[in-house]
Each structure stands twice: as C-alpha cells, then as structure tokens.
Structure 1
Amino acid sequence: MTSIETVRGRRVWDSRGHPTVEVDVVLDNGLLGRAIAPAGASRGTREAIDLRDGGDRLGGKNVSRALASVNGPIAAALRGCDVTDQAAADQALLALDPSPLKETLGGNATVATSLAVLHAAAAAAAKPLWRHVADHYGTTPRIPLPEIQIFGGGAHAGRRVDIQDFMIMVPGATSFDEVMEITNEVYFAAGDIMAQKGKLAGVADEGGWWPMFDSNEEALETLVAAIEKAGETPGDRVVISLDIAASEFRKDGSYRLALEDRDMDSGALIDMLGGWLDAYPIASIEDPVGEDDVNGMVEFTRRFGDRVQIIGDDYLVTNAKLVEEAAKAGACNAVLVKVNQAGTVSESVETFKAARAHGWGAIVSARSGETEDTSISHLSTGLGGGQLKVGSFTRSERMVKWNECLRIQDEPGSGSFVGGAPLAGTWWGKKQKETA
C-alpha cells in the first residue's frame, strides 16, 4: 500500500489576484500530488462554500481559516491513508465536515485536498493523470470538444451585458488543434469588429472581450459577424453556446435585464431565448432560467430539449441527487461538472456518472477565478465526457488548460478527438446526419 505521509496547505493567488488554497499530498515514498482550488464569481446557492476569513484584510478573502483546516484536521485524518482509495480519502473529508455546503472545513480546503490526492495516486501509479482517472473509474478517455468564451458578461464583466457568456464551439473540427486555430480567427475577428465600432472596453475575467453593447442581442449579432469575418459559415463548423446565468438577474420571481431596462416573467424570458434559438446558430444553452425556477426549466426543456443542449449549472451545482431529480422532472439534458461546486472528486464523478446514466451530456468546467492548475483538462479527457469549458482564448490560466489538452492529445491511448459527437442530439447534429 502506498500511504499518505503528509498533507500541507499554502496560500497562493488566483487569476483575479485573490488568495486561494494550494495543497501538497506527500506519500511515504516521497512522491507528490499538488492541486489548487479555483473560485467562482457566479455561484449557485447550493454549492460548496469557500471558507474565507472576512474582515478588512485582503477584502475579506484571505484563506487562513481554510489553510488551518488543511494543516490541522484534514492532515491528521488522511495521514496513513491508502492514496489509491480516492473514495475513502474523500469520505474522510466528508466525515470531518457533515455540513451540507462544507462551511466547516471550507469547500476550497476540501477540493484542493481531494484533487491533490488524485494527483498523488497518479504519481504513485506512474501514470499521467488522465490515464489514472480512466483506469480508476473504468471510463474510456477521449479528447474533449472545447466551449470557448468570446465575450464575457454578467458577473464576469461588471454586468455590462446581462448574459454571462457568449461562446463558440467548433464541432465540425477534426482535431483539438483545429478548434484552437478556428477559435483564434473568430476571437480576434470579434475584437476587430468591436474596436472598429467603439464597443470594446477591454478583457473580462475569463479572457473574453469586455463589451460595450447596447443590447444583449447585439452580442449575438456581433458574434455571427465575427464567425463570418473569420471565413466560417455560422452553423456549419462553428456554432454558438450561451451561458445565460439567469439566477444572476432574477429577483422576487422576475428577471431584470438591466442593460435593456426591462423586466420579464419566466414565460417571457423563455420566449425571448426561443426567438434567439430560431434566429442564431445556438447549439448549447446553460442555465436559461434561475436555479429556483424549476417550472421554467421544465418548460424550457419541453420546448427546446430536442434541438439544443440545455445545461444545468447553478440549477444542479454538480450534485448527483439534483441530477436525478431534474431527470425525473424532465428538466435539462446536460450538467456542468465543477469539482469545487461539489467539494470532492468523488462527488463530482458521481454527478458525472448520474448524468451519463440518463443519456445526458456532461461538461467539465473551470471557474472565473482560476490558476495554472490543469486538473480539469485531465478529468475531462480521462472521464471521456466529451466537453470542456475553460473560459476564453487568452490569459495564461485559461491557455494552460487548452495547451494541456494539446499535449494529452499526443499521448498514446488518450483517445481520439470527439468532434461533434456530444452535440449529436442538437439541430447541428441532426443537420450533419442528414447531409452525410
């Protein structure tokens, strides 16, 4: 048995300049596993809570309490544990913190530790992390289809536009490298169009352009123009993906589009989004209504679930039980998997498997506050889920994850690029089948 000798936490800094938690898991043979906790700006109310210090210092975001959790009770509980038993290690974390949202230890403490254990186990097995994940969970590795932000909005760009992410996917590409090349052309075409029109304010949290649009739909119009300027036909190789993040602008049962100075109920929002689906080549849409708008999510799925991927993020918060409830209710057909929403690797994989058991899509995702940690590139590949959402095409904390996928793609046994397979059930996939 390869056992855990020590667990050490330290404070490091994320892409927004805020403190976060890094954990080293050192084995009895001297091998090391290391991981860093990300942090989200747009957060579901039912996701694991980052433990912060509060007060005036560092804007209340210091993590000394979370580090105390790692270096105290967590280190004591994991010392001597078999590093190859991820479920047991994660269960030890859960036993220390029975609170539903991990507010005792801190989700930032547990996720960094859980991921570090996974890395240490891969090191002990002398395998790349993606291979260890595939072997440990009995999955078939595949190189994922990226979902890449072109414009940032919502909580990622000072709420300059209400919709949080305007993204593209390239399901018509034949390799991960080809996706990167096409995205480069679209990304910089979008920047040129915005600069020419005086609509460019800078770069948002996740590396996408920070827009100065006069309406939310202007972003869609500009994105279509950028795809065309890049020499592509919208809806052919390149499609649009949206993260509405509707919980961010829902209050007292109403949705407030501040940019357009209008309020709407759930039905009106669904109708507006349905109009966008008719007018633009949108193949995927995330959190189209608020996390507490269950009837709205069911209705949106009823109307559009046979033509577009409908992802639950704030609505499902990487929780297998919520996936089961949503599937039973007829809400969503895909889940976003964010390890720090759940707080441990085991809970995240449980959610992934629950989604796949229902024939759903499963998209491994980064957060807006990120680091040089590349764990999710390996998780996405190793689990074979087929989709990865990291952010945009600039900023090193984003590009390090895309570049890691390029490296993994060159490794024997990592699987072929999935291409458009994850979108087979959308209008895009049906169109490809008809024209094949």
Structure 2
Amino acid sequence: MPTILTSVRAFQRLDSRGKPTVQVEVETKDGKFRAIVPSGASKGDYEAIELRDGGEAYGGAGVRQAVQNVREVIGPALLDRRYDLEIGLKEIDSFMIALDGSPDKSDLGANAILGVSMACARACAAAKKIPLYDFLAGELQSSPHRYIVPVPFFNVLNGGVHSGNTMTFQEFMIAPTGAASIAQGIQWASEVYQALKSIIIKEFGKVATGIGDEGGFAPPITQPSEALDLIMAAVKAAGHEGKIKIGIDPASSEFFDDGYYDLGFKSDKPKKLTSTELADLYRALVDKYPVVLLEDPFAQDDWESWKYFHVVSKLHNVELVGDDLLATNIMRIEKAAEADACDSLLLKVNQIGTVSEALAATERAYELGWSVFVSHRSGETTDDFIADLAVGIGCGHLKAGAPCRGERVAKYNRLMDIEEELQAKKIGSSYAGKSFRYAHSQAKSE
C-alpha cells in the first residue's frame, strides 16, 4: 500500500530575528512532519525569491501570501496527485517547480515551496522507515560508502550586515579539525567561545559581549587582523593551539560598489580598495593565520577577481567557497567551473528552493571535484534539517553559527545525536577532521 499525503498545512511563524517565515506540516499514515524555512540577510541577486506580503504588518515582511499558496494551491495539487512517498522526493519537487512556472519561484514563493519540500523529505524518510540523513544519502547518486560527520565551522565573531559594529567582514569562524569526534569538536569550540568572551570583557568591557545574528560576538573592532588576533588568543587561552583552524566569510558583495571594495562601508570613513589590493589583504591574512577557508572574498559578478585569486588560494591550500557567486544554482556552478573561479559550493537549500535541486547542485559540485560546505542562514529557525543534510551528502563540513542561541545549537545537538546513533548501530562512520574538504571523495572511494 503506497504512502501518500493526506494533509498539507501551512502557518506564519517567526525566525531567529523575529521576522515571519513559513512553517509547513504534512501528514501521512506515518504521522505529521514539519519544516520551518530560514531566511538570509545578505542575499545574492541569483537566489530564488521568497514571497513577502508588503504592507504594514511586520514592516512588510509578512508571509501570509506564501502560507496561502501552500494551503490553497500547492497542498491541494499535491493531494490530488497522490504521490507515493516511498518512491522519493524528486517527483514532488519537480511538480512544485512546474506548478510555480517562474524561473526563480517568485510566483508561489521559494519559501512556500521549500517548506513543503523539507516536510515531504521527512515524510519520505518515515515512509522508508529510515532516518532523514539516510534518506537524503539515498537521493544522492554519488552517496558515500560510509557516513561522514562534518567538522562544524562556528561563527564566533560577527561583522558585516549581521552586526552593529564597524567590522566589514561578516564572519570569522573556528573549525575544530583536530578533534576526534563531533562531540569533542563542539566541546573545544564552546571552550574557545567562552574564552573569547572573557578576553573581550577584559579588553572592551561587558558591554562589548553583545552578539550578532548568528550568535558570534560583535565587539568594537574594525580590522580583520583584530578579529583574528582575538580568536588566536582565545584558542590559546582554551588550551587548543594547533587544533583549531579558521574560516572567513567577508560577504564582499555587501561592500562592493562601482568597481571598488569599501572596507569602511559601515562607518563614515570610506576605505576603498581595488580587487588587487583586497586580494593582497587576504593573502597577508592567510600567510599569518591558520586560515583554511575563504567564502565570497569577491563580489558575485567580479569574475576576473575570482579567477585571479583562485590561483592564489590553490598555492596556499585554502578552500575558495562560492556563496553569492553560485547561489546553489547549477547554471551558476557551470559558469564558475568554466571560468575556474572557485573550488567549493556553499550549499544553502533556501537559495534554490527545493531539497532535490540542492542535491542536484551537490552532485554537480562533486562531479567537478569541488568541496561542498553546508550552510544555515542568518535568519534561522530551530529546524535542524541541515544537520541531517550534511551527514547525508558526506560533505565534511557545515556552518550553523556560534555555539550560542537555540536555533544554532539545535543543529549541533542534532549532529551529536546522529554521531551517537551511528556508533550505537555500529554503522561505518567517522568525523571528517583534517580531511573535511575531501571527505566525500575519500568516503566514496573506500
């Protein structure tokens, strides 16, 4: 007897910034399955379009129309089709894409479509009587031969549009690559985070321990070297020198204007750099600090700068991640591959709008020999879907914010749950550790 949807419901709820988002609940004979959609602050121009109501309620950010589209358009159409969830998710997602009919999901709303897609993924896993990560692995053609629990990249210092300080770069992340397990890695990161808090209090006072959108501290600093010096001091104070690496997401599209990168865009003192000067700054940081990953170091359409710096990043063995550049979109991935502009995909499911399309983007990145880096959004929810996603696709690393705030911690707690579950079942698995960039290819070749 097939497992079919018997109910599709939607509601307006809140994300971590107190802004409305879409919650979807689907029902089958196996029970009810829920998903809540995240939203970004620094959004690229090539992302799928989330539907917002406009008007006065919630400052125009309401999602009543998207909710209505689930209730009155998507839901009834899916119930009428009677898809067998044991077959998988691709047919459902393809049907919703066709039902929307626009190139960017702006008709029904990517937030409406994604909520249904994520909830249906959970229902599909239940229909097969397997965990979500196991189901997602099965939907990927190049699923690894054993499970890889990813290295978490914790955003411990916030800047850019995620905070109120004058730091231009958006994220400074720590990655416990030297740990033996996700549980140990999270412990180390938490210890560094608490040490960082103490150092900030000592240097700037308690008032400076306010946090940004993703839970990282936002002290009154401006220069990236100041942020990195604070992190290195915290790593040393926590006793984890040599075991922690660093990732940086400048989110440079936010401060690119008229051919220049303005490092003073958050202050009244412009500091405009050419792309070559900015590249020199990155190179100096990579030479001085244990930086292993750079995300969006240049603007989303500054292709020549990406191409130039990709050569530099290879020489320094730094992963070059495309976020706004790629937007989890296969067409953008193909363009970047042709230009040899980067070697890693930042995977944000809500950038493309369905789980199946995110998996297809993952598949293509792996075919190109790239890494895949799973990511949350700054406007997050307590939904822990991306933890299962990172394990299912064997990507080796994930970022979900600081070890602080419930919507961030939910992902890290879920990863520890998965690790314990895999160990209890004696299923072949390992922590990605120092091999995080190449975890998928190594697991697949075994």
Instruction: Please confirm whether the aligned pair reaches a TM-score higher than 0.5, indicating the same fold.
Output: yes
Once the two structures are TM-superposed, the CA of residue 342 in structure 1 deviates from its matched residue by 0.5
Establish whether residue 255 from structure 1 lines up as the match of residue 237 from structure 2: no
Aligned partner of 2:216 in structure 1 is 208
Aligned partner of 1:323 in structure 2 is 333
Aligned partner of 1:168 in structure 2 is 174
Is contact 2:397–2:437 with CA below 8 Å preserved after alignment? no
Taking the aligned partners of 2:298 and 2:222, their CA distance within structure 1 comes to 22
Structure 2 counterpart of 1:346, from 325, 340, 356: 356
Aligned partner of 1:12 in structure 2 is 13
Q: TM-score, normalised by structure 1?
A: 0.94
Once the two structures are TM-superposed, the CA of residue 227 in structure 1 deviates from its matched residue by 1.2
Matches of residues 91-106 of structure 1 in structure 2 within 5 Å?
91-106=94-109
Taking the aligned partners of 1:143 and 1:220, their CA distance within structure 2 comes to 27
Aligned partner of 2:120 in structure 1 is 117
Is contact 1:41–1:369 with CA below 8 Å preserved after alignment? yes
Secondary structure of the residue aligned to 2:21 is strand
Runs of 4+ in 1 over 6 A off after TM superposition: none
* AA matched with 1:4: L
Taking the aligned partners of 2:338 and 2:184, their CA distance within structure 1 comes to 38
Gaps of 5+ in 2: 440-446
Aligned partner of 1:433 in structure 2 is none
Query: Is the alpha carbon distance of 1:225 and 1:261 closer, same or farther for their aligned partners in structure 2, counting shifts above 3 Å?
Result: farther
Aligned partner of 1:32 in structure 2 is 32
Taking the aligned partners of 1:317 and 1:18, their CA distance within structure 2 comes to 22
Q: Deviations over 1:119-170 (max 9, x none)?
A: 0111111211111112332513311111111101111103531000001111
Is contact 1:165–1:243 with CA below 8 Å preserved after alignment? yes
Identity rate of aligned residues, in percent?
A: 38
Matches of residues 236-255 of structure 1 in structure 2 within 5 Å?
236-255=242-261
Once the two structures are TM-superposed, the CA of residue 33 in structure 1 deviates from its matched residue by 2.0
Once the two structures are TM-superposed, the CA of residue 78 in structure 1 deviates from its matched residue by 1.1
Q: Deviations over 1:311-330 (max 9, x none)?
A: 00011000122112212211
Q: Alignment RMSD, CA only? A: 1.5
Aligned partner of 2:379 in structure 1 is 369
Aligned partner of 1:434 in structure 2 is none
Q: Deviations over 1:52-100 (max 9, x none)?
A: 1111211111110100111111112211122233111001111112222
Structure 2 counterpart of 1:416, from 422, 430, 433: 430
Once the two structures are TM-superposed, the CA of residue 201 in structure 1 deviates from its matched residue by 4.5
* AA matched with 1:66: A
Matches of residues 110-259 of structure 1 in structure 2 within 5 Å?
110-138=113-141, 139-140=143-144, 141-158=147-164, 160-198=166-204, 200-233=208-241, 236-258=242-264
Query: Is the alpha carbon distance of 1:197 and 1:76 closer, same or farther for their aligned partners in structure 2, counting shifts above 3 Å?
Result: same
Taking the aligned partners of 2:33 and 2:135, their CA distance within structure 1 comes to 13
Matches of residues 251-290 of structure 1 in structure 2 within 5 Å?
251-258=257-264, 261-290=270-299
Aligned partner of 2:410 in structure 1 is 400
Q: How many residues align?
A: 422
Taking the aligned partners of 1:30 and 1:115, their CA distance within structure 2 comes to 16
Establish whether residue 357 from structure 1 lines up as the match of residue 367 from structure 2: yes
* AA matched with 1:279: K
Once the two structures are TM-superposed, the CA of residue 42 in structure 1 deviates from its matched residue by 0.8
Is contact 1:13–1:19 with CA below 8 Å preserved after alignment? yes
Once the two structures are TM-superposed, the CA of residue 424 in structure 1 deviates from its matched residue by 6.0
Taking the aligned partners of 1:334 and 1:315, their CA distance within structure 2 comes to 11
* AA matched with 2:235: I
Aligned partner of 2:84 in structure 1 is 82
Once the two structures are TM-superposed, the CA of residue 114 in structure 1 deviates from its matched residue by 0.5
Taking the aligned partners of 1:288 and 1:98, their CA distance within structure 2 comes to 34
* AA matched with 2:8: V
Q: Deviations over 1:221-256 (max 9, x none)?
A: 1111111111122xx211110001000101111111
Is contact 1:33–1:121 with CA below 8 Å preserved after alignment? no
Is contact 1:335–1:362 with CA below 8 Å preserved after alignment? yes
Taking the aligned partners of 1:124 and 1:32, their CA distance within structure 2 comes to 12
Is contact 2:156–2:172 with CA below 8 Å preserved after alignment? yes
Taking the aligned partners of 1:56 and 1:422, their CA distance within structure 2 comes to 46
